[in-house]
Every structure is written in C-alpha cells, then in structure tokens.
Structure 1
C-alpha cells in the first residue's frame, strides 16, 4: 500500500522561510559543536533530527503562520550539523595523533567539511526514490522524527523532556568537570599473571546514547568491550609474564597498543560485508533515480513530493565542489597528477561510501550507521593507492587522511540526508528543497568545526598524544584512522590482532544470518561489537545501562518495537545536548584559565546522582 503523506502533493505550503533558514542555521551550528565534543569523547554521535524538530516546534509555536513543512526544513538543516561533526571528528584529529598538526588550519577543515559534506547530499539524490519509495527501508529515526513533527501540530509541550534533560546533563557535567567526582570509576586486579579490569564512565550522555540506540545495540557494544577486556586482555597479559606496570596501567597499555586492533579487523570485515550485501540495492537505486530524471526531461508531470534536484544541476554542483578539493590537494601535495588521482578516488569511493551509508541509515538509523567502518575501507584503499604512486612518510599519511576526511563527511551527510528525506516523505515535503537545505546546514556548520576542534584540543587534548591533558578525549575513530594509516606506510600494522578481529566479525556475520533466517528480533551486526572492542570498556558500561533503561521502559508500556514519540528519547537527547554543550563551555573556561575546581571529591556521590538521572529517564520514558 502506498504511503499517503501528511501534506498531500497537491497542497503547497511555505517551506523556504526566513524563520526556517535562521533557526536551521543556528541549530546546525549548535548541534554540530555539541556532537563534535560527544564524538571526540565517546566515539559516536546521535541523530539530531528529533531534538531539532522539538526545539523548532517549541520556538515556531509562537508564530501564527508556522507549518509542519517549515519545521521539517529546520530539522533537515540542523541535523546536518550533527552528521558533519561525525565526519570531521572521525578523521581530522588523526592528523594530530600522527603529529602532522598541533592545531587545525581553519581553511583546510572548513573547505573539506563544507564540500565533502555537500557531495554526500548530492550523491544520494539518485538513490532517494529507490531506497525510500521502492525498497521501503524503515529509516527508523526519520520515521520517528516524522511522527514527532506530526504530533507537534498539537503544540510545543514535547519540548519539556529535552529541556529538563539539558539541565540535568549540563549540571552533571559541570559538577564532574569541577572535580566533585572522577570522570571514570575503575579498578583492576592481578590474578596470577593475568589482569582483570572493570570500570564505568560517569556520564549522563552515554546513558542517553544507550537509551536511544536500544538494548540490542547497547548490549553488542558492551559485548565487544567484554571480549576485549574480560577475555583478550587477561590472555595477553598471561603471555607477557612479569611487568613493572601496575594493574590499571597494564590493562590500559595492552588494550591501547594491541587489543584495540581487533576492532580494526572487525570493522574492515563488516565494511566489506556491507558492500557485498548492498550491491543490488545500490544498483537498483541508481537505475530508478535516472529513470525519474528521464521522465521529467521528456515533459512528464512529476508530483511535488517526487521532485529532486535536476540531474544536470547535480552533476554541475559535483564538478564545482570537486575542483576546489583538487586545488587544495595540489596546494598541499604539490603534484598535479597525485592531486588528480586523490580527486578521482574521493569521487568513486565517496559515491560508493555514501550509497552504503544512505542504505544502512535506512536499516539501523543514522546514530548506528557505521560511517567509521566505511571510512576505514576507503582509507585502506587510498593508503595503498598513494603508497603505490610513491608517496611515503608523513606526506603520504596526511594525504590519505585528507582524502578519507572528504569520504567520511560525505558518507555521514549521505546517511543523514536519506534519513531527513524519509521524514519528508512521510510529512509531504518537497525533496529538492530539503536537499538544498541539507547543504545549507552543512556549509554553516562547517564554519565552526575548526574552532571547536581547536578548543577541545587545547582544553583536553587527545589521549595517547603529546596534547593529552588529565581528562584527555579518547577520539577513538581518529586514533584508529591514524594508526591504520601509519601501519600501511610503515608496514607495522598489528596484523595478528586484525586477523583475530576479522575472525570475530565473520563469526558474528554467520550468527546474524542464522538469526535473520529464524526471524529473530535480536540481531548481531558487526559494527557495534567492533566499536565496543575498540572503545574503552568504561564507555560501554553506561551505554549498556541506558539500553537496559530503554528495555524496562518498553516492557512497562507493553509496547512491541519502537515508540517514535517516546518522551524518553527526547529526555535522552536533552541529556546529550546538555552534557556536550557544558563540555564545550568548560573547555573554553579551561583555555581561559578560569575553570572552577572543588576541594571536595566523592565518586559515590557521582554514582548516586547518575543513578538518579537514569531513574528520571525511566520515569520520563514511561509517560504516555
């Protein structure tokens, strides 16, 4: 049965308005900055579409001439900021890890972020009809956002959970950063020659992430951590023999120098499997998109809700965006030939990566989209290609990361674009207008990426680098990109660990296929487990707790599947935004030398307050 949009195609409402433009830009910048912090800290970001939609509804409620399509344009632009942040923080900090940069040049970050992200939006245009209208992929966050927008026609009351969540998340981060409790509660113990570790970050945002992604994904992230910290690290420590390191230092050293490469192997296999699984849907998507373009060129009437940007405009814009990137690469590398090959790689691999990201967003949502896995695959291909062309050392590694940065931002924006277009498909938006607003949000968010990254680097630093401060950010994906690139150019990759991770991924793929054949609700996608192996266990624990909270909320409401208007999701989004924005604010205080510090510290107090936030999230989620 064909879905009937909330606003029928025959009806036309204002979508391009001054209110939507200004609010979309402001929220894009805020969401981008907040998620840059969250991604550097936890290695993941969450979709900003629903929070942006709720905030937009609350603000636009004051205007009499508001409409749902205007709200949809706001969330389209705003969510681009969050997705762009993911693409930027997954790659650019790798250049700090490698020692190529100590701070981020504004023009390089801005050009790559703006043009790479916009390419991602353009690459998906020929795929929209096939993936959304014909394949009918669920696009869970896109459909949830549409439900929130439709429900929001009743008024702005949905903003309360996100407001309270923002206050709680911000205050919890403020108290923790002031020294009232440690960022992580952890302990390690030697049992014979083996070391066993247990720890948890005290973070409201991570509990919120677990709530949003649900128990299945949250458990798999924790499972990855358990494989690394409860099995692999003790076994490796037992083989090392005597060491002068204490238990905590030993566990962290083994994980950071050896075990996390298992996550690399798992991600590479997961990315290749995604390519294999998606080859036919991508082919159908391209064919369907081109067919619609031909119909329009022949003069056939196309419904407003089926109008994409014209194909000739798309091709011209792609060329207009690739040429400056080619010139930037030439400026950095100094070789026309190599710069041209870098541009060709980003075009071909960027389109494939964006297609995969757009499809997977329809299956697992934007928040769970394995953009880092797609980027690792493109990074390996680029690194081997540039090495074969004679690039070596720091020049080769930097060139590889700069190509991967374009592909990563393109893939991140591609997934978000498809999610937003799915929302538009339900509410009756005009696709071509959303596609333009996606690029508008991308361009404006790109303007603040470099300043935010520089602020975070100066205030916290990146763990494992000379920039690291006491509360250094993990930046796990960026660290991964740096080490994989370095390994290719030096020939010193931890291949044994990568092979073990690949074996784990193959086992998970087989199990997932068996579960799919049996129709099981529980599935075992590779990427969450791979991320869990690569991230510290202390991040996986609160994510798992958040997943449990969501599970108990679902049970208490006697629901089957997701509730798209779950107030707990809005509360969780508020917790994330509050903690992330306070983290950036505190970073500014640290850089200015005026950060507050308490003379009292109690981890027990932090645990109790975090439990209280989890309870509040549970009670919020139970509300009808």
Structure 2
C-alpha cells in the first residue's frame, strides 16, 4: 500500500486511490470476514427492525471492524477494507427487506412458522435482483448527478482516516454496554423495559411512554435531530391528537387499563393513518425521481455502447461495472425459481406468471427509487417500507380486480411485496457502497460481486433467526407467555393492508386522513426547500412516527437531542476561535468526536440486538420460559430509567470529549 502513497489524488474530485493504481481488493480473508459480518449484522438488524420498526446502516461499524481485524495482516489496504464493508452491509439491508414483509405471512396465519427454503430463496432472489437493477444506474446517480449519499461519504471518510484503535474501542464499548443493558432488562428482568402511563382526561385519554432501550437512543443519534424530530412529530400526531379525538368521540370496549385502551385504538384504527402517509410518501418519492430514473437507464445503455467500441484496457478500472448483458441473463435466470415459488404457494400457473411480471416492474421502479432516495437522505432514512406498502396495496387491489379471493390473495400480494422490498433495500445499500468505492477508488464490478456474496450469506440465516425470535418472544400479536413480543410494526401493517383489501374492511377514512397529513407535510417540505432551510421535512420520516408505538418514537427523539446537543457544544466553542488553524483543529475535533459517538451508538445497537438473539436460545430451550428471570420486573422502571440516563450522558461525553481543546 505504501508504494502507492504518492499516487493518491489530492483534489476533491479525484479518488483516494487513483484508477492507475492496482491494489488487491477481493481476497479470501476479505470474503470470509465479509460473509461473517453480513451474517452477524444482518441478524442484529432483524432483531432491531422487529423491535423498533427501523434499521440502521451497518457500513461504518463493518468498516471499523474490518480495519481492526485486517490490521493484523501487513499487506491489507483500504480497498480490501472497502470490499469487506460492502459485503457486510448487504446482510443488514437484506434484513430490512425480510422483516418488513415475511413475518406478515406468519401474523396472518398463512404460515405457521418461517419456512426455511421459501424465506431464503425470496430473500436471496430479491436481494440479487436489487443489485442487478441498480448497477445500470451507477454512472447516472454517482458519476454524473453526484448525489450526496451521506452514509457512503461517511464510510469513505472512516476508511480514509483509518483510526482503528479509537474507532474499535468506541464500537466495542458501546457493544458491551448495550449487551449488559439487554441482559438486565430482557434477561434478568430487573426492571420493566417501558416507562409509560395513560390517564383519563375530560372524557378522553392522555398517553405517554418511553422505551428504555439504548439501541433506540442510538438510532436517534445516528439519524440526527431533524429525522428524530419528524418521527416524534408523527407519533405525537397519532398518540396525542388522533387517539384522544377518537376516544372522546366513540363508545369503546372495556379494557383492563387506560394503556390497553390506548393501544387498542392505535392497533385497530389510528395506525392506518400511517398506512395512508406511507402510500402517499412512496408515490411522492416516485414522482420526485422520475427524471433521474430515465436518464440513468439511458446513460447505462450509452456506457455499454461505448464500452463495445473500446478495448477493456481503455475503460478505467474505476468505471468498470458488471457487463449489462450478464445482468440481463442473470435476471432471466433468477425469475425461474421465483416463478416456481409463486406456483408452489398460489397453485395457479397464470397467476404466478402475472405475479412475476408485477414484481419485475415494481422491483425495478422501487429499486431505482431506493437508489435515488439513498443519495438524498441515506440508507437509514430510505423509504423502503413506504414503497413496499404502496406495492402491496396496489398488488392487492389488482389481484382483487382479477377475481382472487381471501384464501390466496393476501399471500400473493405479500410475496410480491417481499421480493420488491428486498430488492429496494439492497438497491439503496448498493449505491451507498458504490459511492464509498467511488471516493476511495475501488473497482465497481468487484464491489458488485461482493454485494451479491453478502446478500446470499445474509439470506441463509434470515429464517433461523426469525424462527428463534418467534419462539422466544413472539412477533406482533403472536405472544409468548411471560415475554413482551417484538412489535414488528411494518409487518403488522403489511398484513393488515393485504388482508383488509381482500376482506374489503380497510378503514379508508383513516387511510385518507394519513394521505392528507402526508400532503400537508410534502407542501411544508417544498416551502422549506424553496427557502433553503436547513431543517427539512421528508414525509416518510413523519409516516414512520405515525405508525410506530409512541414509546419508540420518544426514545428515538432523545437520541436525536443528544446528537444536536453535541453539535451545539462544538459550535459554541468554535465561536471563540479566531485563526484558521484553530478553526481547522476545532472542525477536526468535532468530526472525530461525532465519529466516536456514531461508532459508540452503533455498538449500543449491535450489542443489544445480538444479546437479544442469544437470550432467545435458553427461552426456546425452556419452551418459552425465561430461566434467567429474577421476577423483579414488576417492581419499577426506575433502575432502567437511571441506567438509560447514564448511557445518554456517556454518549454525549464521548461525542464532546475534545470540545475544550
């Protein structure tokens, strides 16, 4: 690596490793490490997504782990580390596609468990299709339009800085704290995991709650105050406005407590406001990127035409994608097993073929949307669930119009949505990784190969992890005695939409109300964009808050506040500085501190999620009984509140450690 040091580009638009350099990228150790991290981080995000309804990008933690591990080898380099994080992040993104849709089949009783081969093939094929669909868009969205891809840029900066020691320590420290917190909460049950209350107020109800989870705090920190605030606003609209209005205006069944009453109204009525908002948000995303979608395809075809006129030596290393003719053949081959799965499940050949065509069209459109939106707001804020709900709603209406009934219809719609969701999730992730590679000077086709490897590795463990969590905790309304089920909010919504269309009992008044809220948010965001305001209002962030339980939204908001407080601390210190040297040093400390905070937050998520999966093993072995339970969780939530406050303090202190320097 040292021999190329003098060749590295120093201009802003030049890659870190120039195209003329030739460093080893794909190695056996990189493949093995990438597969391991894809499985590990994918499993962690399955847990987080089912618990919170939100997943976060794993590229930065994967890059830090890769640097820490490969540092032990003298001949490792930045492009090899980039290849590892490319494969690793695929498992995390695939987890989002799977947990947003596949559990809906179990929730509706279509499956009694997570069928291994069906789940694995749907996840793998959806992910592979997502990679293939976005390869033709790389030149348009990354080289020509130069979208931001914030998480891709951040990952590239982490790779360039290569601060293995501090980064690995922050990640490990967060992981240990997250794991210990989860052990005390869900393992030993030393406190209740949620602090919440609901009180009758003038014929209505007031509810407030906080989920005592470091992982949710970390999610808020990572997405930042802007997005965290919008999630909270969405939650407040539903839980502090819509639910009280509904309770005051309707006769409701008797419930054991006001908390139960509030959740009953949310689960059966007002969460459909979130459905309407997500559908409107997904359609708005399609409208926003209609131009880039077509220009991307045209640019790809032109690049292919030019490549036919040149020899391979004339095409720069940093501009070589998987050849488009190979992509076309691979897509055709991938459709064959997908059609066979559809035939096996719906037992009608014409219908299965129609489902494949619908999936192909929706998969391309929404993979492109995901790729474009990731460039604007990042993978963690990507509207994957929004476009999936839109897909399932329209597929359900179309299948209903073709005469399909309630016995097979919901399953057919969900299977179309599952493949589209996996493709869209991977599409956005693929572009983030390719952006990182573009900055550091990687070879695109090698990254695309590693993305495919990461997808397949992650797909192999999705069904076992889902089965373990289902048996240990329960998912959605399927509960295990003595355990709090994982909410799986997106899957419950997908199930409700698919079933509601065929049963013709969707609460359209709430869906229309959600569409109205979304339109108002879109208009507000357009006004903010015209004023070039720093605070923006992406509609899907509000939609996420509308359908999440409020106790999740409040915890995410707290994390956003910590990130904002850390940034404010640095800005205050910076105001007192005069010289350019001092200002540059201050900016360096700010970036370093926020990066440590980011890695600590990623550790909190990974530690809590992985221990949650490990704790599921003894619960399953003891047939649903937690052998570690001390039986103290009914006493109080205060131990958890105090410990969570300490976590908040540590996160803030770590982020602002050098503010005074």
TM-score strictly above 0.5: yes
Provide the TM-score with structure 1 as the length reference. 0.98
Pick one of 606, 611, 614 that aligns with 2:640.
Answer: 606
Matches within 5 A, 1:366-377: 366-377=379-390
Q: Deviations over 1:349-394 (max 9, x none)?
A: 1000000000000111001101000101111221122222222113
**Judging changes above 3 Å, is the alpha-carbon distance between structure 1 residues 396 and 585 closer, same or farther for their aligned structure 2 residues?**
same
Partner of 1:280: 291
Cα deviation, residue 102, structure 1: 1.9
Cα deviation, residue 84, structure 1: 0.4
Does residue 216 (structure 1) correspond to residue 226 (structure 2)? The answer is yes
Asked whether the equivalents of residues 9 and 305 of structure 1 are also in contact (C-alpha less than 8 Å), the reply is yes
Cα deviation, residue 467, structure 1: 5.9
Rounded Cα–Cα distance in structure 1 between residues aligned with 2:251 and 2:507: 20
Pick one of 383, 388, 393 that aligns with 2:401.
Answer: 388
Does residue 568 (structure 1) correspond to residue 600 (structure 2)? The answer is no
Partner of 1:163: 172
Partner of 2:3: none
Partner of 1:35: 45
Partner of 2:8: none
Matches within 5 A, 1:47-126: 47-126=57-136
Q: Deviations over 1:31-88 (max 9, x none)?
A: 0100000000000100000000000000011110100000000000000000000000
Higher deviation after alignment, 551-560 or 35-44:
551-560
Cα deviation, residue 192, structure 1: 2.3
**Judging changes above 3 Å, is the alpha-carbon distance between structure 1 residues 357 and 397 closer, same or farther for their aligned structure 2 residues?**
same
Q: Deviations over 1:217-245 (max 9, x none)?
A: 00000111101111111110001246532
RMSD over equivalenced CA pairs, Å? 1.5
Partner of 2:391: 378
Higher deviation after alignment, 425-434 or 551-560:
551-560
Asked whether the equivalents of residues 461 and 469 of structure 1 are also in contact (C-alpha less than 8 Å), the reply is no
Asked whether the equivalents of residues 47 and 612 of structure 2 are also in contact (C-alpha less than 8 Å), the reply is yes
Partner of 1:403: 416
Unpaired stretches in structure 2, ≥5 consecutive residues: 1-10, 575-586
Cα deviation, residue 276, structure 1: 0.8
Partner of 1:585: 614
Q: Deviations over 1:398-433 (max 9, x none)?
A: 111111110000000000000000000000000000
- What's the secondary structure of 2:200's corresponding residue? strand
- What's the secondary structure of 2:94's corresponding residue? helix
**Judging changes above 3 Å, is the alpha-carbon distance between structure 1 residues 187 and 455 closer, same or farther for their aligned structure 2 residues?**
same
Asked whether the equivalents of residues 354 and 414 of structure 1 are also in contact (C-alpha less than 8 Å), the reply is yes
Pick one of 560, 563, 568 that aligns with 1:547.
Answer: 560
Rounded Cα–Cα distance in structure 2 between residues aligned with 1:563 and 1:384: 49
Provide the TM-score with structure 2 as the length reference. 0.92
Cα deviation, residue 469, structure 1: 5.9
Cα deviation, residue 599, structure 1: 4.0
Q: Deviations over 1:114-148 (max 9, x none)?
A: 11101000000110011111111100000000000
Pick one of 356, 363, 377 that aligns with 1:364.
Answer: 377
Asked whether the equivalents of residues 473 and 479 of structure 2 are also in contact (C-alpha less than 8 Å), the reply is no
Rounded Cα–Cα distance in structure 1 between residues aligned with 2:455 and 2:17: 26
Rounded Cα–Cα distance in structure 2 between residues aligned with 1:323 and 1:3: 42
Cα deviation, residue 466, structure 1: 5.9
Partner of 1:447: 460
Does residue 10 (structure 1) correspond to residue 10 (structure 2)? The answer is no
Q: Deviations over 1:184-231 (max 9, x none)?
A: 110000012101101010000000000000000000001111011111
Partner of 2:582: none
Partner of 2:278: 267
- What's the secondary structure of 1:199's corresponding residue? strand
Rounded Cα–Cα distance in structure 2 between residues aligned with 1:116 and 1:81: 12
**Judging changes above 3 Å, is the alpha-carbon distance between structure 1 residues 478 and 468 closer, same or farther for their aligned structure 2 residues?**
farther
- What's the secondary structure of 1:9's corresponding residue? coil
Cα deviation, residue 463, structure 1: 2.9
Asked whether the equivalents of residues 131 and 452 of structure 2 are also in contact (C-alpha less than 8 Å), the reply is yes
Does residue 595 (structure 1) correspond to residue 627 (structure 2)? The answer is yes
Unpaired stretches in structure 1, ≥5 consecutive residues: none
Matches within 5 A, 1:491-510: 491-510=504-523
Asked whether the equivalents of residues 567 and 623 of structure 1 are also in contact (C-alpha less than 8 Å), the reply is no
Asked whether the equivalents of residues 57 and 156 of structure 1 are also in contact (C-alpha less than 8 Å), the reply is no
Pick one of 409, 413, 418 that aligns with 2:431.
Answer: 418
**Judging changes above 3 Å, is the alpha-carbon distance between structure 1 residues 468 and 119 closer, same or farther for their aligned structure 2 residues?**
farther
Does residue 236 (structure 1) correspond to residue 246 (structure 2)? The answer is yes
- What's the secondary structure of 2:189's corresponding residue? coil
- What's the secondary structure of 1:187's corresponding residue? strand
Asked whether the equivalents of residues 96 and 102 of structure 1 are also in contact (C-alpha less than 8 Å), the reply is yes
Q: Deviations over 1:258-313 (max 9, x none)?
A: 01000000011111111111100111111111111111111252110000000111
- What's the secondary structure of 2:127's corresponding residue? helix
Rounded Cα–Cα distance in structure 2 between residues aligned with 1:583 and 1:247: 29
Partner of 1:342: 355
Asked whether the equivalents of residues 462 and 468 of structure 1 are also in contact (C-alpha less than 8 Å), the reply is no
- What's the secondary structure of 2:19's corresponding residue? coil
Q: Deviations over 1:460-487 (max 9, x none)?
A: 1123236676310110000000000011
Partner of 1:297: 308
Pick one of 231, 255, 263 that aligns with 2:266.
Answer: 255
Rounded Cα–Cα distance in structure 2 between residues aligned with 1:132 and 1:203: 36
Matches within 5 A, 1:166-177: 166-177=175-186
